[in-house]
Structure 1
Amino acid sequence: MTSSSTQHRPPIGIITTLRSSLPFLFFLLLLLYLISTSKLLIYPPHITTKITCQDSNLTTTNNHPKTGYDTELKHIAFCIAASSKLWKSRKEYIKLWWRPGETRGAVWLDNQVKIKKNETLPDIHISQDTSRFPYTNRQGHRSAIRISRIVSEALRLESDDVRWFVMGDDDTVFVVENVVRVLNKYNHNQFYYIGSSSESHFQNIFFSYSMAYGGGGFAISYPLVKELAKMQDRCIKRYPGLYGSDDRMQACMAELNVPLTKEPGFHQNDVYGNLLGLLSGHPVTPLVSLHHFDVIDPIFPGMKRVESIKHLLESTKYDSGSLIQQSICYDMKREWSVLVSWGFAIQIMRGILSPRELEIPSRTFINWYKVLDFTAYAFNTRPVTGHPCQKPFVFYINSTRYDELRGQIIGIYTVHRERHPRCRWKMESPEKIHTVVVLKQEDPDRWLRAPRKDCCRVLPSRKEGIMYLWVGHCGENEVIEV
């Protein structure tokens, strides 16, 4: 047998056919080349397969032991406190998270409002008259009494298979999947009052650290609401001097001997300014709610407030439980620190900052009382760096999609163009990076395990101006060493 092509020439007819097909073959090869090069934006040249965790001790989704109390979205009734004067603008926030046919509950107003057809909004109810209740606080408004009674009024409407009542304002945005995740940890047949404190230390002193702030939202189990409804009117009359609805609610809970169960994923957002530092330093817990959008800057620069929140919630389609969860890694070759807030933003800083420092929220915001005192917050904060070389380069989420072939979520983050002070350090500048690509696997069971941040790894890249990261389960013995 010989391999010489001269001994086995193809028939003349085949040669003729191949010659006539050369233009088509050339076009096909060109198309394949363009497709392969376009993928370089998504995957670095060396990373063409699915990245998996090396930790053999982790339990997968399919064989994870069943936990929780089987609470679903249908078991939760949302009670939204709203004002007729602000309804035209505030209803746009509700539309962002409300899901007709899936979510249940109602909006409670002080007066009738005009309702357009086909608006994706909850049912509208008018609160009962509260003029019989005394209100003596000179700084507040007596609408606080009306709002505090909403959950008791909702009890009369929602009794079929309801396990939880969740209170919120008309400018509160809920991540409904995470509402379910959090409430599923608790026995709905017991008395539970679940929420969180203010971000302002002064607010918590003036009101209470034991109070769930209404703008951030809070949840009350069904049997507790039944018990509350029996005594709430009497309770309200005993506290005419209280300021708001949420401190009246807490006063009644105190009389029922029910303490606040704190879940830090409920956010009152008692701050002004830029939330970049606050969200990037989010605690290791699901993001449940955000509030006060009318007083903070848009979450994404250059967008309107409603548009920016909608953009943030896009990432929940792929991994709602991981939204804004923090990861830290380092590009040791270029001596960069990288702070990832998944689905929101990435910050790259010159120099190696310790994880202990990076995990603390930076003060890109100011306190509710507009004081510049770092002790004014109910959590640790760190100052925004004054060194011109350590100002972070910020990359905001541009788009998120799911790659079915590799079973990975792909997040594209693009640089926020802003002026950076001149730096005389000789190390390479992150200004050369215009895009960061983050590869991640969906992790629906992350909150069924002990709380732990995801690990982050810098991946190799030959594509100039693009940085590739992987975020996911930490491998066995994986430690951030700096």
Structure 2
Amino acid sequence: MGEKESEKLLFWEHMRTPIAPQHPTLPKLLVLLILFVSLTYLVYTLKLVSTSRACKDAPFSKTIIAVNATASAAAVLRRGSRETNPEDRTDLRHLVFGIAASAKLWDQRKSYIKLWYRARDMRGVVWLDEKVKSEENNSDTLPPVRISGDTARFKYTNRQGHRSAIRISRIVSETLRLGMKDVRWFVMGDDDTVFVTENLIRVLRKYDHNELYYIGSLSESHLQNIFFSYNMAYGGGGFAISYPLAKALQKMQDRCIQRYPALYGSDDRMQACMAELGVPLTKEIGFHQYDVYGNLFGLLASHPVTPLVSLHHLDVVEPIFPNVTQVEALQRLTIPMKLDSAGLMQQSICYDKSKSWTVSVSWGFAVEIFRGVFSPREMEMPSRTFLNWYRRADYTAYAFNTRPVSRNPCQKPFVFYFSKAKYNSTMQQIVSEYERHRVPHPDCRWKMANPAAFDKVEVYKKPDPHLWDRVSSEEKLLQSEEVKGERDHGDRCGYV
């Protein structure tokens, strides 16, 4: 065997011999990595626990509420600072009214505008289809009158409507082009619309005028809302558009109108353009279209819990007070409107336990006294003293709950209509009087006190101009508990 072969043999023998174990470096790295991760986790956990000690006594749900309350508080503070600064507070001077009117009806309808418009405090324009005889003495009671632009170039193919809808739909844009300064909201209405302007301001102050807002309400008629849209603000009830939205609308409205020649009215054209701009309707149910016929009593006596902003179709419905004209009735309504507009038409329900009577007060409008005990759930539903827009006594045709007028002769309410009111500075209360509406009542065989023994009802109310400023959920809950207590005790009712 040669020398090289012996070396090879030794090499292979060496490879077969097991190698003695040594301390590897790889497990050391793993141990160090585990220790590092564990230490990091421990430090992070200790830090998390230390920062959470402040909330250890609070339940988890309360913590969530606290976060929401902080955000809400910031919003309230921003709004509060704006309201405390007279220069930055939204007021009537920041509104411009665009009123759609017809020359043929102007002499009749302008009486409605005179009831609510104050030329010294407000800005607005009446847009007519043609010229009317100007009256210099109306300059202090009516907005200036202008003629709408020509709309002959626009298509209109709806056989049931009138092409004046195109003219009316452009009122906001035409009013914007007048270049008025310091405008925050454009408010649209008809010449037979009456606004409660103080409540209108209360509603608009809830919203940021720098954002895109389209604010209004629906029709009372379910069928009307189906035919047109549940996302549309009805123009007769009025609606408000923020200034930035009016600017966006003005840029595209004429092109938008051309795309909808088959639509019926001005308000559904407006909503079609809002849909193209991606702005939904913000619903405020105090704007009232009143697509009904007959007597508004049931609607006004059970007004929803919201500021009364507008009344419409005043030529169609009966006067809101009996035995007077509609204008005279609305003039009477301005008395409580001036004393406490925030509480106008707000319903209070109480009970006289000794007589087993239910008393419903629609402040500034009417008081009803019923024999028997009716639940608040029933009383807050409007009684069907009216017909729907299609003149059918169909309770399913309304976009809200209603109750039938009772057929039981003993449950027919005794109605006392508002007659006068004044502020008593000694008591710091408004004393309002309601006189009984003398109509024949059917004979009742129930052996209980008869409300016919009373000729007048007095209501004592403390004015509350900040009624609608309390918006927190806790305050609303407290208010509802207070109202519940008053209803249970029934000691708020006084008779003269």
User: Normalising by the residue count of structure 2, what TM-score does the alignment of the two structures yield?
Assistant: 0.79
- Cα deviation, residue 320, structure 1: 0.3
Find out whether 1:88 has 2:107 as its counterpart.
Answer: yes
Cα contact 1:285–1:451 (8 A) shared by 2 = no
Query: Cα distance 1:218–1:302, how it changes in 2: closer, same or farther (>3 A)?
Result: same
1:103-252 matches, cutoff 5 A: 103-119=122-138, 120-252=141-273
* Alignment partners' CA distance in 2, 1:228 and 1:123: 23
Match of 2:378 among 318, 342, 357: 357
* Alignment partners' CA distance in 2, 1:450 and 1:381: 27
Counterpart AA for 2:265: G
Match of 2:485 among 463, 466, 478: 478
Pick which of 110-119 and 385-394 moved more: 110-119
1:38-57 matches, cutoff 5 A: none
> What are the Cα deviations for residues 407-439 of structure 1, in whole angstroms up to 9, with x where unaligned?
110101100000100000000110001100000
- Cα deviation, residue 478, structure 1: 2.2
- Cα deviation, residue 313, structure 1: 1.8
* Alignment partners' CA distance in 1, 2:466 and 2:480: 11
> What are the Cα deviations for residues 63-83 of structure 1, in whole angstroms up to 9, with x where unaligned?
x96676721000000000000
Task: Structure 2: give runs of 5+ residues left out of the alignment.
Answer: 1-78, 490-496
Match of 1:102 among 121, 132, 149: 121
Query: 2:434: which partner in 1?
Result: 413
> What are the Cα deviations for residues 304-357 of structure 1, in whole angstroms up to 9, with x where unaligned?
011111111211111001000000000110111000000000000000111111
Match of 2:299 among 262, 278, 281: 278
* Alignment partners' CA distance in 2, 1:318 and 1:151: 32
Cα contact 1:284–1:451 (8 A) shared by 2 = no
Cα contact 1:105–1:158 (8 A) shared by 2 = no
- Cα deviation, residue 450, structure 1: 3.8
Which structure has the highest helix share of the two? 2
Cα contact 1:107–1:123 (8 A) shared by 2 = yes
Query: 2:397: which partner in 1?
Result: 376
SS at 2:391 equivalent: coil
Cα contact 1:75–1:162 (8 A) shared by 2 = yes
Find out whether 1:394 has 2:428 as its counterpart.
Answer: no
Counterpart AA for 2:359: V
* Alignment partners' CA distance in 2, 1:439 and 1:474: 21
Query: Cα distance 1:392–1:451, how it changes in 2: closer, same or farther (>3 A)?
Result: farther
* Alignment partners' CA distance in 2, 1:347 and 1:108: 41
- Cα deviation, residue 157, structure 1: 1.5
* Alignment partners' CA distance in 1, 2:298 and 2:408: 17
Query: 2:469: which partner in 1?
Result: 448
Find out whether 1:258 has 2:279 as its counterpart.
Answer: yes
- Cα deviation, residue 476, structure 1: 9.0
> What are the Cα deviations for residues 266-309 of structure 1, in whole angstroms up to 9, with x where unaligned?
00000011111001111110000000011100000001011111
Query: Cα distance 1:394–1:237, how it changes in 2: closer, same or farther (>3 A)?
Result: same
Cα contact 1:67–1:448 (8 A) shared by 2 = no
RMSD: 2.0
Counterpart AA for 1:376: A
Would you say how many aligned residue pairs link Structure 1 and Structure 2? 402
* Alignment partners' CA distance in 2, 1:476 and 1:357: 16
Cα contact 2:423–2:431 (8 A) shared by 1 = yes
Which structure is richer in relative contact order (CA contacts within 8 A, separation 6 or more)? Answer: 1
Counterpart AA for 2:261: P
* Alignment partners' CA distance in 1, 2:159 and 2:95: 35
* Alignment partners' CA distance in 1, 2:170 and 2:400: 31
1:282-321 matches, cutoff 5 A: 282-321=303-342
Counterpart AA for 2:388: N
SS at 1:211 equivalent: coil
* Alignment partners' CA distance in 1, 2:146 and 2:488: 56
Query: 2:24: which partner in 1?
Result: none
* Alignment partners' CA distance in 2, 1:379 and 1:349: 23
Query: Cα distance 1:128–1:375, how it changes in 2: closer, same or farther (>3 A)?
Result: same
Higher Rg: 2
Query: Cα distance 1:375–1:401, how it changes in 2: closer, same or farther (>3 A)?
Result: same
Query: Cα distance 1:403–1:357, how it changes in 2: closer, same or farther (>3 A)?
Result: same
- Cα deviation, residue 159, structure 1: 3.1
Counterpart AA for 2:487: I
> What are the Cα deviations for residues 156-215 of structure 1, in whole angstroms up to 9, with x where unaligned?
114300000000000000000011000010000000000000000000000000000000
* Alignment partners' CA distance in 2, 1:127 and 1:67: 36
Counterpart AA for 2:202: R
Cα contact 2:351–2:488 (8 A) shared by 1 = no
SS at 1:314 equivalent: helix
Find out whether 1:435 has 2:449 as its counterpart.
Answer: no
Pick which of 151-160 and 227-236 moved more: 151-160
* Alignment partners' CA distance in 1, 2:259 and 2:316: 33
User: Normalising by the residue count of structure 1, what TM-score does the alignment of the two structures yield?
Assistant: 0.81
SS at 2:103 equivalent: coil
Task: Structure 1: give runs of 5+ residues left out of the alignment.
Answer: 1-63, 455-471
* Alignment partners' CA distance in 1, 2:99 and 2:483: 45
* Alignment partners' CA distance in 1, 2:384 and 2:244: 41
Cα contact 1:195–1:264 (8 A) shared by 2 = yes
Counterpart AA for 1:260: L
Cα contact 1:339–1:347 (8 A) shared by 2 = yes
Query: 1:14: which partner in 2?
Result: none
